[in-house]
Chains A and B, each alone.
Chain A
Amino acid sequence: MKGLLIDVTRCIGCWECTNACAKANSLPPVDSLTRAAGPELSADRYTVLRKVEVGDRGRRYVRRLCMHCLEPTCASVCPVGALHRTPAGPVVYEVDRCIGCRYCIMACPHNVPRYEWNEPAPRVRKCILCAPRVARGEPTACADACPMGATLFGEREELLDEARRRMVESPDLYTEGVFGELEAGGTGVLFLSDVPFAALGFPTDLPNHPLGENTEAVLSRLPDVILIAGSLLFGLQWIIHRREKLAEEAETERTSEKSTPTTEPHEEGERA
């Protein structure tokens, strides 16, 4: 399973990752305006660099991109399976399935997927971890372009080992652990930092289990609910209707007996 390791301490803010991403994914080129604006992800920007001032610790550049969760919330909520994680690692999107309900955008704990709000036939847009390149055995465009080795591409397990190695080597620098090792079930994109992740804008309040478990706990009970409630309702309905029918029959019997009392004398005796 492929992933990325992004070391915030090594990033110099050169934007080569975003440039390369735009080229690889046929997105509009990055101009100085985009850089200056303090940009966010958008329908035509799969990754951006955010400039963050962290108190007296100075400036940090933090990449924003899809985290490629191991158990993606977006894939779990999509009613038609338009999003899924490929065995190689990337979480990808198929527009031909999408109905445009935007539950993925709603549910993503990292606020990543973007929508083409001004298109009559809109698509969901997000980083796909260069799935076609990865399938060819190449690294992602961003990792390939990074001159500082701040973004590394590789097997997630190996990247995690590398992160741990760096933490052991420079325990005074990497004081914050790895973001993405456990968050919401773990992510394919891992971050190392020397300043608190919360200060860099990461969602640090996420549970360690995949969010899809929240809804699956309910959905998995559905068959039981249908079975029990269904048989209960059908049973009740049958009993109540049956009783009503019997009562009706008894009623008509009684009235018919009253109108013709002499024709069936043996029943007359039963009643007495």
Chain B
Amino acid sequence: MEALKRLLRPTFWKVVFVLVVAAGLYATWLRFAKGLGAATALSDRFPWGIWIGFDILCGVGLAAGGFTMAAAVHIFRVKRFEAVVRPAILTAFLGYVLVVFALMFDLGRPWVVWHPLVMWNPHSVMFEVAWCVMLYTTVLALEFSPMVFERLGWGKALRRVHRALPYFVVLGVLLSTLHQSSLGSLYLIVPTKLHPLWYTPLLPIQFFLSAAAIGSAMVLFESRLSGRAFGHELPAAVRVDLSRVMMVLLVPFALLRLADLSRRGVLGLAFEPTMEAFLFQVEFSLGVVLPIILVAIRRVRHAPQGPFFAAICAILGFVTHRLNVSITGMDATQKTGYFPAWTELAVTMMIVAVGFAAFALAVKFLPVFRQTGEEPEGEGAPVEP
């Protein structure tokens, strides 16, 4: 009773949450009662908008921490990251559940979303995407289940899951690799419609690399936020290492991106006075080069907020890249001037808000940050002024 009362006591963020969800619910009603046309700015010339560009492309990418951290801890046995594997898996699980939720808004006929199970077209990237979403969400549910079983005290179920976990982790890494790259492959089919600054045969590899890099950034981001709220600060050494992992993966992404642009002879397009060039510059300089430099500087890397700020830059750059592929780059040729309707934004914000709330509740009621605090402060700690 007491806990319920505390949960219902209004705070600033709870009020924001209620407002966002209320707007989202109105948009939801509009979408399902009157059709996609009433709730979105989509058209025949611009059939995929922000629900695909942000909710799906960014949502799946930002969940990548789940497979990178699970691989680091459960396959490569990197002991140092044990403290972050649970929040990373929680983020990934919530992320995928919300991606499926968002898909229900975007699909024209969501009640037959199960069709790819029985109606196969192996030539379609979308078919691969559908299977990856279904299988990996299942795997993530299994990877997440120990947190629930521990809380409920179901020892037998817990032991069973623990025994199977390494195999599920390998499966999860495989599925993630396929899924992250296939989101890039989706755009291989539009060579004449996607702006040359973003269309490249290397899209699948670029999408995979950027997702892998952003996995660590997301762990830094969310552990910082939840650390603030619940008092589980990550050890400084872990923060430094996470930022290093992010940098090590961002560097090949940056080099590949530049090499590809110059090899296709379109690097010049990046310096023309166009909207596309401007957004490319934002994406690349602030979102890729800046975080690499920040982490490369020892003083910044070891500063208490350094890794967090580098992660924020990388996350914003990542989101800009995916939106540039899905929206800027497509509208460069389609010229519809697509800008999301407020109801599209309302649904997206509602989904993000539900994600934050679900994460907060899970951290509150489940053993998510179990291992933190057990580890002593590492090498990075004394550097703090």
Contact = CB atoms under 8 A, between A and B. Distances in A.
Contacts of A115: 36, 44, 47, 108
Interface string B248-281: 0000000000000000000000000000000000
A78 B108 CA distance: 14
Interface string A109-136: 1010111111111100000000000000
Contacts of A37: none
Contacts of B47: 102, 105-106, 115
Nearest to B75: A237
Most buried by A among B33, B71, B127, B188: B188
Nearest to B169: A237
A48 interface: no
A222 interface: yes
Interface stretch (B112-120, B294-302, B344-352): B112-120
Given A76-B123, A78-B124, A122-B36, A99 B190 contact: no
Nearest to B37: A117
Given A99-B107, A103-B186, 7 more contacts: A41-B44, A78-B126, A102-B48, A119-B35, A122-B35, A206-B192, A234-B170
Contact of A111 (B45, B106, B122): B45
A175 to B, nearest CB: 24
A105 B364 CA distance: 44
Interface in B163-179: 166-167, 169-170, 173-174, 177-178
B123 A237 contact: no
Contacts of A122: 35-36, 108-109
A229 interface: yes
Contact of B121 (A78, A107, A244): A78
A233 B170 contact: yes
A77 to B, nearest CB: 5
Contacts of A216: 123
Most buried by B among A81, A203, A211: A81
A169 interface: no
A65 B173 CA distance: 44
Contact of B112 (A99, A118, A205): A99
B188 A218 contact: yes
A240 B44 contact: no
A90 B256 CA distance: 42
24 contacts: A41-B44, A78-B121, A78-B124, A79-B129, A80-B115, A99-B113, A100-B107, A100-B108, A100-B110, A105-B47, A109-B192, A117-B35, A117-B36, A118-B35, A118-B38, A120-B34, A121-B109, A203-B192, A216-B123, A218-B185, A219-B185, A233-B75, A233-B170, A240-B75
A23 interface: no
A246 interface: no
Contacts of B119: 80-82, 97
A79 B178 contact: no
A101 interface: yes
Contact of B124 (A98, A103, A236): A103
Interface of A: 41-42, 73, 76-82, 97-103, 105-107, 109, 111, 113-122, 203, 205-207, 211-212, 214-216, 218-219, 222, 225-226, 229-230, 233-234, 236-237, 240-241, 244
Nearest to A103: B126
A215 B188 contact: yes
B125 to A, nearest CB: 5
A73 to B, nearest CB: 6
Contact of A236 (B36, B38, B75, B181): B75
A14 B153 CA distance: 78
Given A119-B35, A219-B125, A233 B112 contact: no
Interface string B2-46: 000000000000000000000000000000111111100011110
B204 interface: yes
B188 A207 contact: no
Contacts of B109: 98-100, 121-122
Contact of A73 (B71, B129, B189, B204): B189
Contacts of A98: 108-109, 112
Most buried by B among A105, A106, A226: A106
Nearest first, the 7 A-B pairs at minimum CB distance are: A100-B108, A117-B37, A79-B126, A79-B127, A100-B109, A80-B119, A102-B47
Contacts of B76: 236, 240
A80 B127 CA distance: 7
Contacts of B191: 207, 211, 214
A67 B212 CA distance: 41
B116 A116 contact: no
B332 to A, nearest CB: 14
Contact of A225 (B125, B173, B177): B177
